[in-house]
Amino acid sequence: MSDVLTPDICVVGAGAAGLTVAAGAAAFGVSVVLIEKHRMGGDCLNTGCVPSKALLAAARAAQGMRTAGRFGVTGPEPAIDFAAVHAHVHRTIAAIAPHDSQERFEGLGVRVIRAPARFVDAGTVEAGGVRIRARRFVLATGSRPLAPPIPGLDSVPYLTNETVFERTTAPGHLIVLGGGPIGVEMAQAHRRLGARVTVVEKQSLLPKDDPELVEVVRHRLTAEGVDLIEGTGVASVGRAGDGVAGVLEDGRRIEGSDLLVAAGRRANVEGLGMEAAGIETTKGGVTVDARLRTTNRRVYAVGDVTGGPAFTHMAGFQAGIVVRNALFRWPARADRTAVPWVTYSDPELAHVGLTEAQARERHGDVRVLRAPFAENDRARAEGAAEGLAKVVALPGGRILGASIVGAHAGEQIALWCLALSKGMRVHDVAGLLLPYPTLAEAGKRAAGAFFTPVLFGPRTRLLVRFLSWFG
């Protein structure tokens, strides 16, 4: 090991979090080494957010053709060319890839090393025949699909998010293990693209979301022909001819042509020499404090590897925290008060802050405000009246959380992210002047419901009658 580098920052992992740290640090003029053993862009670009949303867009286009008759526009059943859908997905990845490429980062002045990395001591990383002794290190190694300990799973071929986007033919009958966001999105996309789909979820569909809003998604999935099996897990799996079969914990047997495992994620901590660096890890990932420092104070960790919310936007947010801490000695902390998430089903389900159940458990007395999309003129005009906006607030009006299920919920939740992060109250939203007709008016209507009992109550009526006496 004759080559020794001494940068200000060494980043291990070139996914969303690592790239953000590397680009941010380089922009401030510090020396950066970026290490990546696999593909630049990480899970989000290659096997996660980008390909999944491209696939969902193709599925939405197919479903739009099927349902256009409600607008007086008729046509034949769409013909699905799955190979062409595959090409669309990979064109999308290719179009975005230059932004995350090695060439771009080298152009920013970052030294990129494409090799596995491991700590050899508390202040040294080894990668590609080079030793890096940096002032600060950032672990951004991400996560990978979790293979649950189901008997027989290792004896059958199965798909994960890392392989499902490589298919050029549609599955005949896709069995999805897991009813979380990935499972729901892939189930609906493949159903709309012509496959029969069965989802098995041990708990209930989208278990981390508000059950009232999840019911809207559940209704749509079943209406489109997705078979949902909830409240029971898979006891074992095995081969069934050219396909796969699963025996459920309640004794039922299901068979399909393909199996997609979407049962969670596992942090990538293996092979990094954590013990040599004095970095503590758990089953969930790397242990970090509120400033995202590991037990080795020279090493930070960001993104999925920390075991926190596995979202690209969370990774980017944490990357900003680390840049402030590492470069400016700013004691920035990763506040999770306003962390949003979206399941990109149709209708979309978006959330930020506390759910109703969480708010009641933490605060007891809360106000729950609702506005159904059926009362929103834009939703009615676009045939998207399925859904609602739901806001949870304290009796004094401080907003605790918001959930939206319906068309473009992921876009609409932005307003509530701002409201929550700034400690706003419902009157701040209720008093907004929004353009008409927009779906966002549903959120404003929910906020306005906070004042309905007072504004239109008997005391207000009495006041209006009293004032009328003066002309």
pLDDT (tens digit per residue) in 202-238: 999 999 999 999 999 999 999 999 999 999 999 999 9
Pick left, alpha or beta for residue 211 (phi over 0 → left; psi -120 to 50 → alpha; otherwise beta): alpha
For residues 355 and 447, state if they share a domain. Answer: yes
For residues 160 and 135, state if they share a domain. Answer: no
In a domain, residue 468? The reply is no
For residues 253 and 169, state if they share a domain. Answer: yes
Closest to 132 measured CA to CA, from 301, 272, 11, 284:
11
pLDDT tens per residue, range 11-36: 999 999 999 999 999 999 999 999 99
**Residue 457 binned pLDDT confidence (cut-offs 50, 70, 90):** low
How far separated are the first and last CA of the chain, in Å rounded? 93
* Domains: count for the chain: 3
**Position 323 pLDDT exceeds 80:** yes
In a domain, residue 14? The reply is yes
pLDDT tens per residue, range 433-452: 999 999 999 999 999 999 88
Confidence (pLDDT) at 2: 58
CA distances from 329 to 5, 410, 427 (A): 23, 34, 38
For residues 126 and 249, state if they share a domain. Answer: no
**Residue 332 binned pLDDT confidence (cut-offs 50, 70, 90):** confident
Among 216, 237, 263, which residue terminates a domain? 263
For residues 17 and 140, state if they share a domain. Answer: yes
In a domain, residue 244? The reply is yes
Q: How many Cβ atoms are within 10 Å of 79's Cβ, its own excluded?
A: 9
Q: What is the mean pLDDT of residues 325-335?
A: 85
In a domain, residue 467? The reply is no
**Residue 329 binned pLDDT confidence (cut-offs 50, 70, 90):** confident
Confidence (pLDDT) at 202: 96
**Position 463 pLDDT exceeds 70:** no
In a domain, residue 335? The reply is no
The pLDDT mean for the chain works out to 95
- Is the distance from CB of 138 to CB of 12 less than 8 angstroms? yes
Share of the chain above pLDDT 90, in %: 91
- Report d(CA 34, CA 139) in Å as an integer: 10
**Residue 470 binned pLDDT confidence (cut-offs 50, 70, 90):** confident
- 290-294's contacts with Cβ under 8 Å and 24+ in sequence apart are 290/333, 290/334, 291/321, 291/325, 291/331, 291/332, 291/333, 291/334, 292/318, 292/321, 292/322, 292/325, 292/334, 293/325, 294/139
Residue 128: phi and psi, rounded to 5, are 60, 40
Among 263, 297, 312, which residue terminates a domain? 263
For residues 24 and 140, state if they share a domain. Answer: yes
Q: Which are the contacts of 318, defined by CB distance < 8 A and separation ≥ 6?
A: 17, 292, 302, 303, 306, 308, 334
**Position 306 pLDDT exceeds 80:** yes
pLDDT tens per residue, range 76-118: 999 999 999 999 999 999 999 999 999 999 999 999 999 999 9
Among 223, 240, 263, which residue terminates a domain? 263
Residue 314: phi and psi, rounded to 5, are -70, -40
Residue 120 one-letter amino acid: V
- Report d(CA 328, CA 418) in Å as an integer: 26
Closest to 24 measured CA to CA, from 326, 287, 390, 300:
326
Confidence (pLDDT) at 455: 63
For residues 13 and 129, state if they share a domain. Answer: yes
CATH number at residue 374: 3.30.390.30
- Report d(CA 252, CA 217) in Å as an integer: 25
**Position 461 pLDDT exceeds 80:** no
Burial of 135 (0-12, 13-18, 19+ CB in 10 A): middle
In a domain, residue 113? The reply is yes
- Is the distance from CB of 396 to CB of 428 less than 8 angstroms? no
**Position 370 pLDDT exceeds 90:** yes
Confidence (pLDDT) at 456: 67
For residues 202 and 280, state if they share a domain. Answer: no
**What interhelical angle do 82-96 and 49-66 show, nearest 10?**
140
Confidence (pLDDT) at 462: 74
CA distances from 95 to 46, 105, 107, 141 (A): 12, 17, 18, 24
For residues 126 and 35, state if they share a domain. Answer: yes
For residues 26 and 141, state if they share a domain. Answer: yes
pLDDT tens per residue, range 183-192: 999 999 999 9
Which domain covers residue 362, as residue numbers?
347-455
Share of the chain above pLDDT 70, in %: 97
CATH number at residue 244: 3.50.50.60
In a domain, residue 438? The reply is yes
For residues 368 and 229, state if they share a domain. Answer: no
Q: Which two tokens stand for residue 256?
A: 């399909």
For residues 169 and 259, state if they share a domain. Answer: yes
Q: Which are the contacts of 237, defined by CB distance < 8 A and separation ≥ 6?
A: 150, 151, 152, 153, 155, 156, 244, 245, 246, 247, 259
pLDDT tens per residue, range 252-273: 999 999 999 999 999 999 999 9
- Report d(CA 173, CA 229) in Å as an integer: 15
In a domain, residue 440? The reply is yes
